[in-house]
Amino acid sequence: MEAKNCPFNFKMILGSSSIARRNILSEMGYEFTLMSADIDEKSIRKEKPEELVMALAEAKADSIVSKLQSINNQDKDEMPTILIAADTVVVYEGVVREKPANEKEAREFIRGYSGGHCATVGSVIVTNIKTGVRKGEWDRVEIYFHKIPDEIIDKLIEEGAVLHVAGALIIEHPLIMPYVKQVVGTTDSVMGLPKALTEKLIKEVL
């Protein structure tokens, strides 16, 4: 999607391979390039989910900044480059859930949500690579579910998209949507990039 006729006075990089994040940033009207971070997410451990997602997004941002520095020297560029990094985890009964290890774990995760609730905790870190200014915050959303039938869970596992996301949770998935009772917070935050928070942080680093 093209930017909505707004000539931005900065370049933008989305430091994520997430299709959902890419779509959200496009919906916001931005043009951007993609870069992914080479980090070992499992090596970063924090007790609180809020601290974990902030630490993971920081690590992603640091990894991409150092890649960019080895590619080119920013100072030559008149225009600032804004880097957006983000991370999301699912919290269920106080326990952090990342991507499921296998189909069995994904099935257990989704069964747990059935008739219950979970939360997503997501971070956004925005870095102005030219000035070095960096701002970041986290956002929490509570999600309540109706009972999810086993045959729906089977279809989700068979299709496979849930195997590649935190907590095996895709609330915007057509199979899951009818069973989402209430979302306290914004859907874009659950999907990995809260729009209002991202806009606010972009303004703060410019």
Is residue 21 within 8 A of residue 60, CB to CB? The reply is no
Return all residues near 108 (Cβ < 8 A) that are at least 6 apart: none
Q: Phi first, then psi: what are they for 42, rounded to 5°?
A: -70, -20
For residue 136, give Cα distances in angstroms to 46, 146, 155: 17, 33, 37
- Please pick, among 87, 139, 154, 188, the residue that the annotation labels catalytic: 87
Q: In whole angstroms, what is the distance from residue 81 CA to residue 130 CA?
A: 6
Q: In whole angstroms, what is the distance from residue 81 CA to residue 69 CA?
A: 12
Is residue 39 within 8 A of residue 63, CB to CB? The reply is yes
Q: How far, rounded to the nearest angstrom, does the alpha carbon of residue 66 sit from its chain's CA centroid?
A: 21
Place of tokens 């998209």: 161
Any catalytic annotation for residue 75?
Answer: no
| Residues designated catalytic | 87
